[in-house]
Structure 1
Amino acid sequence: MRFLLRKLAFYAIALWAALTINFALPRLLPGNPVDILLAKLQQRGGAVSDDTRRAYALLLGGDDQTPLLQQYVDYLGNLLRGDLGVSVSYYPAQVTDVISTSLAWTIALVGIATVLAAILGVVLGALAGWRPGSWLDSLVPATTLLSAVPYFWLALLLVYLLSLQLGLLPGSGGYNVVLTPGWNWPFISSTIQYGFLPALTIVIASVGGWLLGMRNMMVSTLSEDYIMTARAKGLPERQILMRYAARNAVLPSVAGFAISLGFVVSGSVITEQVFSYPGIGSKLLAAVTNNDYALMQGVFLYITLAVLGANLVVDLLYGLIDPRTRKG
């Protein structure tokens, strides 16, 4: 219980710090964010008046006449009510609506690809580390090289080969636009078909890091005394691999997986841009391009909550896997 309370207190403080930084971002940027927002709004045909200016100022936490502390309190109050403001890039849509329409696409694409890359990399890394010098171990440099390749170059190469040359998969979009979105098989199969190529890009670019990290930890773990003791007792090699070596070697990968899983919400901006995929990464890029501070703050808030939540869950699971971490 003490371990749980300590972790909850730590993440509560981290959340408060992240929210405070998110509040300060528009005020640290050069220029007046409200004036930039109103200029963008006017370009899109929106009506600009003194009331409009004050309304946008309040969306960012308060106007020039409101004390900074009161702005901060109002900002936290808006968050508790789920009011993240109005997006200028997609005016007059609410920020929560813009994010919710794209979040499912990103979680489905980047989330599944991240899980597949982690599982594949950890399993292959454990086998490569268990038998150093084998043919599988000799493939580690090649997978590491793929991890060093820029995302956009790898994405463009796959589009050229699998889409333009072979015509096996569509090269852009999230689904066939002639279909009606919904829980029906034609639409679901279309999303799988359109999402396969960007997911393959993420898996190829990510699996090498997981494989190399797990392989090195396995090699280090195999030299530990408890591994030699287990072999001296005559335990089966498979039991030593699963219960002793891999179980301890995977602990750093679990922590890394938590961070990767948390950043799933942020999407893969470059991959989504190359494939014109309707995920949250494209929304974040549009927010930065259009100085849409409300949408930027909203996306950063979702990313913060996802990263902190994922790390909290894995910290608790880490305590179950390795009881030594609960001490202190």
Structure 2
Amino acid sequence: MRFVLRKLGFYAVALWAALTLNFAIPRLMPGNPVDILLARLQQRGGQVTAETRTAYALLLGGDSDQPILEQYVQYLGNLLRGDLGVSVSYFPARVSDVILQSLPWTIVLVGLATVITAILGVLLGAFVGWKPGTWLDSLVPATTLMASMPYFWLALVLVYFLARNLGWFPMQGGFDVTLQPGWNADFIGSAIQHGFLPALTIVLASIGGWLLGMRNMMVSTLSEDYVLTAEAKGLSPTKILRSYAARNAVLPSVAGFAISLGFVVSGSVITEQVFSYPGIGSRLLMAVSNNDFALMQGMFLFITLSVLAANLVVDLLYGLIDPRTRARS
């Protein structure tokens, strides 16, 4: 119980620090969201007065001319009420609505791609590490080569060959705009077809790290005494691989997988931008381009919560798996 309470206390402090940074970083950037909205209003022929500026400032959750401490207290109060403010980029939509509209796209795309990548990488790494020095080791340079490529370059290559030349998949978008979004076969099929290339980009660019990490852990595990003892007992190679070597070598990958799931919410900004995919990444880029403080803070909040939650789960699981971590805490 003391171990759990210590972890909860640590992550509570980490959450407070993250929320404070979430508040401070956007305000250190040049520009003012109220001025951006007023400039757009002027471009459309609207009249800008002092009353207009005050109204827009209140609509966005407070004027940036307020003392910074008052803004901070107001920011924390709004978070406790679940009020993330109004988005400048998608005005007059609320930040929570913008996030909830784009979040499912990123979770499905990046989440499934992460799960598939982790499973394939760990399985391939286990087999490659089980037989080091064989032809299977040739998989490692090939996958690490793809991992070293920039995301956008790999995405553009896939678009050029699979979408433009062969015409197998759409070049951009999350679904066919002529279809009505909903739980029907046509829309789901269109979403799967549009999401295949972005998902393939993430898998090809990420699988090398999982494979190499699992392969190296397998090579190290095979020299452990308990593996040699299992071989001396005459156990079958399959049982040694499954119950002794892979079971212990996969522990770091489990931690990495949990942390990767935490970063699913942030999405893959470059991949979504290349494919014009309607996920969190493209919304975040739009928020940064427009100095949309409220939307940036809302997205950073979701990303922070997901990463902290994933790390907390990993710490608690390690405490259950390895009692020595509880003794050292």
Q: TM-score, normalised by structure 1?
A: 0.93
Residue 121 of structure 1: aligned partner: 121
Task: Tell me the CA shift for residue 48 of structure 1.
Answer: 4.6
Residue 156 of structure 1: aligned partner: 156
In terms of mean alpha carbon deviation, does 316-325 or 99-108 score higher? 316-325
Contact 1:214/1:250 (CA < 8 Å) preserved in 2?
A: yes
Contact 1:152/1:270 (CA < 8 Å) preserved in 2?
A: yes
Contact 2:175/2:190 (CA < 8 Å) preserved in 1?
A: yes
Does structure 1 residue 279 correspond to structure 2 residue 279?
Answer: yes
Q: 1:19 to 1:41 in 2, by over 3 A?
A: farther
Does structure 1 residue 69 correspond to structure 2 residue 88?
Answer: no
3-state SS of paired residue (1:136): helix
CA distance in structure 2 between the partners assigned to 1:228 and 1:57 by the alignment = 70
Does structure 1 residue 95 correspond to structure 2 residue 98?
Answer: no
Residue 14 of structure 1: aligned partner: 14
CA distance in structure 1 between the partners assigned to 2:46 and 2:193 by the alignment = 39
Q: 1:47 to 1:244 in 2, by over 3 A?
A: farther
Q: Deviations over 1:203-238 (max 9, x none)?
A: 011101100011011111111222212222223322
Contact 1:158/1:201 (CA < 8 Å) preserved in 2?
A: yes
Q: 1:53 to 1:227 in 2, by over 3 A?
A: farther
CA distance in structure 2 between the partners assigned to 1:96 and 1:267 by the alignment = 17
Residue 327 of structure 1: aligned partner: 327
Q: Which amino acid aligns with 1:247?
A: R
Give the aligned CA root-mean-square deviation in angstroms. Answer: 2.1
Q: Which amino acid aligns with 2:134?
A: S
Residue 83 of structure 2: aligned partner: 83
**Number of residue equivalences:** 328
CA distance in structure 1 between the partners assigned to 2:46 and 2:295 by the alignment = 18
Q: 1:179 to 1:232 in 2, by over 3 A?
A: same
Q: Which amino acid aligns with 1:80?
A: L
In terms of mean alpha carbon deviation, does 236-245 or 200-209 score higher? 236-245
Residue 208 of structure 1: aligned partner: 208
Task: Tell me the CA shift for residue 326 of structure 1.
Answer: 2.3
Q: Which amino acid aligns with 1:306?
A: S
Contact 1:40/1:88 (CA < 8 Å) preserved in 2?
A: no
In terms of mean alpha carbon deviation, does 193-202 or 68-77 score higher? 68-77
Unaligned runs of 5+ in 2: none
Does structure 1 residue 254 correspond to structure 2 residue 257?
Answer: no
Q: Which amino acid aligns with 1:26?
A: P
In terms of mean alpha carbon deviation, does 317-326 or 267-276 score higher? 317-326
CA distance in structure 2 between the partners assigned to 1:47 and 1:41 by the alignment = 7
Task: Tell me the CA shift for residue 196 of structure 1.
Answer: 0.8
Residue 105 of structure 2: aligned partner: 105
CA distance in structure 2 between the partners assigned to 1:64 and 1:220 by the alignment = 56
3-state SS of paired residue (2:230): helix
Residue 226 of structure 2: aligned partner: 226
CA distance in structure 1 between the partners assigned to 2:148 and 2:180 by the alignment = 39
3-state SS of paired residue (1:133): coil
Q: Which amino acid aligns with 1:283?
A: R
Q: TM-score, normalised by structure 2?
A: 0.92
Contact 1:146/1:208 (CA < 8 Å) preserved in 2?
A: yes
Q: Deviations over 1:169-202 (max 9, x none)?
A: 1111111111111011111111111111110111
Unaligned runs of 5+ in 1: none
Q: 1:310 to 1:48 in 2, by over 3 A?
A: farther
Contact 2:171/2:275 (CA < 8 Å) preserved in 1?
A: yes
